[in-house]
Structure 1
Amino acid sequence: MKSLRITSNEDAKIYLLEEEVDDPSDTQVQVEVITSVVSPGTERAFILSMENTDKSYPRTLGYSVAGIVTKVGSNVKGFKPGDRVAGILAHRTIGNIEQHNLVHIPNGVTFEEAAFVRIGVIAMQAVRKARIELGEGVLVFGLGLIGQMAMQLAKANGALPIIGIDVVESKLELAKINGCTYTFDANMKNLEQEFKNVNNGCLPQVVIESTGFPEPIKLSLRYACNLGRVIILGSTRGNTEINFYKDIHKKGLVVIGAHISTNPAMQSYTAHWCFRDNALCFLNLLKEKRINVTSLISQKESFEKFNNIYKNVLERNDDYITSVITWKWR
């Protein structure tokens, strides 16, 4: 069977690649993709071969889809042709997914919403690993796609207040719409005092860094209260120079890396849930209307118009959050 996927080469040229798709293995499920969601920061970094990306070509772009099961492997349990599902797969028309990286979409959740599944699971790492307590102040640094999602999940987890900072006014406004208690321009002076003013006189107990840039990591350490936790959620593309005595040791900070690759494949543990359990949690939060992903969609396009989509990704349109790609071939 033939499939089309969006990819790029070493010259950062984006194109559609036609390739053969085998039948699913014993543990795989074949899925016809209905929608997929762009992860702008990660995909931009891979297209441009930025630091901390591999150098394999053609690139695999995308990792969050929703669709319909077409075939199942001989050892697969719980999935059958026709099921509505969401999971981990590149931007493509059809492909095979390991069954532990796939979940059913609950009734009441659309394909469009469910396609955010891995975006939600990534953002969930910050909230789980921070172990946020009810009433703790949480600062989210960077309000792009992952930051907006982390902000909503921290709120759902009981953080109060939720503080968001960014340099783009439209992203600050979007965060307010989705429940952020206070927002500030990251270029404001005296931000530390502003944070104390809205958090009972102290700096935030938790800071979630989601920009993917090196410099905000230093600022995140500064903005956390003594004995606070700083969660590195964004995948940084460069080096950060830190004075460990002044920035971490003297303040008693806990710094936690929250990359999704540290999660177990099959079995969940405290603060380290597997994809399946995280994904089911995320989709049920969508079903219960505790989080909102439709407000994060800046653009909807058919896969044939991939150049329109990646124009936004590569040109760093300030107001852009993400695109939903629709898939229907033949």
Structure 2
Amino acid sequence: MKAAVLYGPHDLRYTDFETPEINDDEILVRMKATGICGSDLPRVLGNGAHFYPIVLGHEFSGEVAAVGAAVTNVKVGERIVGAPLVPCMKCSDCQQGWYAQCKNYSFIGSRVSGSWAEFVKLPARNGVKLPDGVSFEQGAFFEPATVALHGLVVMGFRGGTDVAIVGCGTIGMLALQFAKILGARRIIALDIDSRKLDLAKKYGASVCINTGAADFKQEIRETTSGRGFEMVVESAGVEFTEKLSLEIAGNKGDVMFIGTPSKPITWAPSEFEHINRKELTVRGS
């Protein structure tokens, strides 16, 4: 098959690669759409890959091309999306249904080869049928959409609250839309990119604040009448946004860190103290 194969930092080649062979409980999926996640960039441009050569890609949709002998839940020709996290199903966390905390997990497109190829294999239980009327391109957003929604669920999202979305990339934009669906009173989008803020406004942000502006913190104070936000969702995973999220949260506020840092972050005592002084509830997802 053809695939975009990463042979090392800055060494991504479109070339021939071995087509995966499936086991009895697996399916082979012919790719129709696949995304490029922000987490793929440090793997391509830095030293973030677990091994070489590897086919990246974990946001995808396609058609079932083959099924293993023990597979009964999907059929050849069906349209599906894939959940890339592959839990072991045996550890203590898996036994409690905490699959995201599996001690021995694998991950399609990271720990095993992924979807930047003509075909990808996955356990049959990781395939989710794509409803009629949902395109393959839309289906490829299944994984980031579930990341955003899971984050809101984990933080105990409450309707009728003011919510700050810090970072309006893919995850942030999806979290914004889910927050709107779940009944947020106001959604305040924060980003340094005016184009992303324009899109955030289109998809439901009540207020958009450019964090590159000299007076953006004053704008936040005016927007919240000095109280800070009841709920903050951080999705960029960089030092500036992670520190800002604690700073702009109000007393007794909830902060959810979804963004994954690719570089070390150092906290000054005064920055970390926001958690203590404001009695914040801080969670990760």
Structure 1 and Structure 2 fold alike (TM over 0.5): yes
Task: Using structure 1 for the length normalisation, give the TM-score.
Answer: 0.72
**Who is 1:292 aligned against?**
none
The aligned amino acid for 1:5 is A
**Who is 1:47 aligned against?**
44
Which 5+ residue runs of structure 2 have no aligned equivalent? 85-113
**Who is 1:116 aligned against?**
141
The aligned amino acid for 1:69 is V
What is the Cα deviation at residue 74 of structure 1? 1.7
1:65 aligned to 2:60? yes
The aligned amino acid for 1:57 is Y
1:250 aligned to 2:250? no
What is the Cα deviation at residue 245 of structure 1? 5.7
Q: Percent identity?
A: 28
Name the SS for the 2:197 alignment partner: helix
1:165 aligned to 2:175? no
The aligned amino acid for 2:228 is L
The aligned amino acid for 1:147 is G
Q: Is the 8 A contact 2:20 2:119 kept in 1?
A: no
What per-residue deviation string (whole Å, max 9, x for no partner) do you get for residues 23-74 of structure 1?
Answer: 42111111111111111x2111111225xx3442124321011111111112
What per-residue deviation string (whole Å, max 9, x for no partner) do you get for residues 200-227 of structure 1?
Answer: 6631111111112122211110011111
What per-residue deviation string (whole Å, max 9, x for no partner) do you get for residues 99-124 of structure 1?
Answer: 22210011111111111111211222
RMSD: 1.9
Name the SS for the 1:20 alignment partner: coil
**Who is 1:155 aligned against?**
180
The aligned amino acid for 1:16 is Y
* Distance in 1 separating the partners of 2:237 and 2:22: 35
Which 5+ residue runs of structure 1 have no aligned equivalent? 259-330
* Distance in 1 separating the partners of 2:21 and 2:10: 31
CA 122–31 in structure 1, closer or farther in 2 if over 3 Å, else same: same
What is the Cα deviation at residue 195 of structure 1? 3.2
After TM superposition, the runs of 4+ consecutive aligned structure 1 residues lying more than 6 A away are none
1:19 aligned to 2:46? no
Name the SS for the 1:38 alignment partner: coil
What per-residue deviation string (whole Å, max 9, x for no partner) do you get for residues 270-324 of structure 1?
Answer: xxxxxxxxxxxxxxxxxxxxxxxxxxxxxxxxxxxxxxxxxxxxxxxxxxxxxxx
**Who is 2:30 aligned against?**
32
The aligned amino acid for 1:254 is T
* Distance in 2 separating the partners of 1:55 and 1:34: 26
**Who is 2:97 aligned against?**
none
Residue from 133, 154, 157 that aligns with 1:132: 157
Q: Is the 8 A contact 1:195 1:204 kept in 2?
A: no
Higher relative contact order (CA 8 A, sep 6+): 1
Mean CA deviation greater in 200-209 or 234-243 = 200-209
Mean CA deviation greater in 244-253 or 207-216 = 244-253
What per-residue deviation string (whole Å, max 9, x for no partner) do you get for residues 235-273 of structure 1?
Answer: 112222222762211111111111xxxxxxxxxxxxxxx
What is the Cα deviation at residue 184 of structure 1? 0.4
* Distance in 1 separating the partners of 2:224 and 2:230: 9
